Amino acid sequence: MKKIIAILIVVMMSIFGATHAMCQKHKKKQVMQSGVVMNIPEGSSTYVIIPDSNPNQRYLVDLPANFQHAGMKVEFSGAEGTIDPNVRMVGTPFRLSRIREKK
């Protein structure tokens, strides 16, 4: 009986450890980045942020009205979303957690 309990405890601990490790692997630290707000295409209501660290990347964001100005320099943080393989979008979905105008 003690052997069975010991085996169950080991199994439960390994399951908990694996689950915890997987959660930590997908958790990304949110770091403030700087970038420029752009309107794509010009005159539309679609806004992206192009980060200074990677000018080829575009983050598709739902910007507050006071940040909807093309060319505005901003500092932002948040979580990057995913795009299904059969879907085409103007940029990578991005959920903002913080944004402020860069001075």
- Structurally, how many domains does the chain consist of? 1
8: in domain: no
Neighbours of 97 (CB within 10 A): 10
Q: What is the pLDDT of residue 4?
A: 78
49: in domain: yes
26: in domain: no
78: in domain: yes
Helix or strand (DSSP H, E) at 14: helix 2-26
Range of the domain at 74: 33-101
- Condensed to tens digits (0 to 9), the pLDDT of residues 25-38 reads 344 557 789 999 99
- Quote the pTM value: 0.67
Sign, CA dihedral 40-77-81-51, equals: positive
- CATH code, 52: 2.40.50
1: in domain: no
Residue ranges of the chain with pLDDT lower than 70?
6, 8, 10-29
Helix or strand (DSSP H, E) at 65: none
